[in-house]
Amino acid sequence: MLICVRQLFFLEQTPDGKKLLHKADLKFKRSILTHEIGVTQKYNIILDHPITIDISRLYKGGSLLDFEKGGPARIGVMPRYGDADSVKWFEVESYCTFHLLNCFEEGEEVVVRGCKAPAAILACPELGENKFQWFSRGFNFQNNAQTSEEYGYLFHHVHEWRLNMVTGQVHEQNLSGTHFSMDFPLVNGDFIGLKHKFGYTQVIDSKESSSAGMTKYGALAKLYFDEEPLANHQMEGNSEQAIKIEYHKFEENVFCTGMAFVPKVKGSKEDDGWIITYVHNEESNMSQAYIVDASKFESEPTAVVTLPQRVPYGFHGLFVCTQNQA
């Protein structure tokens, strides 16, 4: 996690961590919390959204961390070894994005894909507010309406920003619609920074999350960025879904945490590999690892491994193949 307290430094080091290759002060004028950066073949992608850190606010009885609704938001495109003056900034709709799916260059555009919500779940409810009601309203699209300050503010969807490096124009689009909230996105690691066909996310069980007062993930999703949604996958109402999505749903009262893509050694296609995730059955109190064939996403897991102990919700990491280590 990156925390900016007045200054945000971009650092790059050697794979062994022994030598600093590049350091740049991005000269931010406010203290923000940003969780990830993106990369393309030539650029670093920087998120500047209105999740602010303010000690003076804390002194006045407020929160140290707060999401400033409607506050200014932008995305920066920085040359790989650039500095603050070399960043090209794009003003975008106010948003909260902790996790990026992927970024890549396409013609004159830099394409950024990530999970976007109208507000930050880390900001938490105001002091004295019922957290269960706060979660319930946050994940709920009342009467299938659009998000508002009162409802749907925690609902994450897969979002695309197309940043034109020549004209400075921005085109934004909700790709996954409003049927299911989703987060913790990833791609096949061989396609990081490159144009890709597929992406994967964890799907939030909004009902269970609302009643528990914490986020629970009851399924996985596979996104087909080059294909339109199938008619038989549509549900009642207008979901605004722009791409095809497949779901790998878990049994009742089974929830996952953490997800990784493991490529097949001799795979020839982008989705030749497995999705591995930890799951916990809240009825039996059993924890397991599910191994799902990414090319047969809606099928039963290829393998299930029972674990000797519980893996806490929220735990997540990265799969690194030995042959790719420095």
Residue type, 238: N
316 marked as binding residue: yes
The tokens for 13 are 């080091």
SS3 label, residue 132 = helix
* Rounded Cα distance, 217 and 164, in Å: 35
Q: Judge whether 35 is annotated as a binding position.
A: yes
Q: Report the sign of the C-alpha dihedral through residues 201, 202, 205, 206, in that order.
A: negative
The helix/strand/coil state of 210 is helix
Classified as helix, coil or strand, 144 is: helix
Per the CB < 8 A criterion, the answer to whether 31 and 5 are in contact is yes
Query: Token match 């929160």: residue?
Result: 63
Given a contact cutoff of 8 angstroms between Cβ atoms, the answer to whether 11 and 2 are in contact is no
99 belongs to an annotated ligand binding site: yes
User: Judging by beta carbons within 10 Å of its beta carbon (0-12, 13-18, 19+), is residue 295 exposed, middle or buried?
Assistant: middle
Dihedral sign, CA of 231, 235, 236, 242?
Answer: negative
Scanning 74-187, the segments in alpha helix (DSSP H) are 131-139
Question: Do 103 and 38 touch, CB atoms closer than 8 A?
Answer: yes
Closest CA to 223 of 186, 269, 192: 186
Separation CA 98–CA 121 (nearest Å): 10
Give SS3 for 212: helix
The span from the CA of 275 to the CA of 65, in Å, is 34
Q: Which residues are annotated as a binding site for Fe cation?
A: 35, 99, 316
Q: Which residues are annotated as a binding site?
A: 35, 99, 316
